[in-house]
Chains A and B, each alone.
Chain A
């Protein structure tokens, strides 16, 4: 099972866990499984159309899945998935 690291502000929606192990062949399947087990996480990660929210970046190990095969990126048991919000600003 791949390991998903849960950012602190989202742990309250993931049973208080800082990491969750989930099975799935792709990053998309894993995120689906994660948010089925922890439904309160879903609206934090996905919009109403079921797409990742605009500020949510997902990393497979050290790679942004946007530059791999997005949610179709294959994941192995030894992989770690991280959720990193994109943040910027300006006047």
Chain B
């Protein structure tokens, strides 16, 4: 289960809308709570993919390192990564799975015609062969 506070959710949706029609990406910061994850802050990050960003995203590892430090300084940690799917449903694609990592929650936001449509969260398994959905709670 991943629960995302309104302030964090608003940042994620705003970032996804601003990046449209390109894919956005970012980190979700928070704490582990009751066997699940509680996200208190979202941190927009740059899409480092050098090419068509309409259907691809890539995190910048140097920025990840920075975000990790910021999270630690606030007594939080990176709980997951979010990215958007412009004009496409919020599913976890084969490339999303192959280039993920089993340590985080992966939230995908569907943005259609520039507006937020729906979202899902996925938990890649250890070998990144499948990513079952996890319960996602957010306040709009």
Contact = CB atoms under 8 A, between A and B. Distances in A.
B30 to A, nearest CB: 10
B57 A88 contact: yes
Given A7-B77, A18-B72, A55-B101, A90 B65 contact: no
A83 to B, nearest CB: 9
Interface residues of B, number: 32
A32 B89 CA distance: 42
Nearest to B53: A90
A39 interface: no
B88 A91 contact: yes
B68 A90 contact: no
Instruction: Report whether over half of chain B's contact residues are helix, strand or loop; otherwise say mixed.
Output: mixed
Interface of B: 23, 32, 49, 55-59, 61-62, 64-65, 68, 72, 77-79, 81, 83, 85, 88, 93, 95-97, 99-104, 128
Interface residues of A, number: 21
A91 B99 contact: no
Contact of B59 (A7, A62, A88): A88
B56 A62 contact: no
B77 A87 contact: no
Interface of A: 5, 7-10, 18, 44, 55, 57, 59, 62, 64, 82, 84-91
B44 to A, nearest CB: 15
Nearest to B51: A90
Given A9-B104, A89-B95, A84 B57 contact: no
Contacts of B79: 8
B68 A88 contact: no
A84 B83 contact: no
Contacts of B72: 5, 18
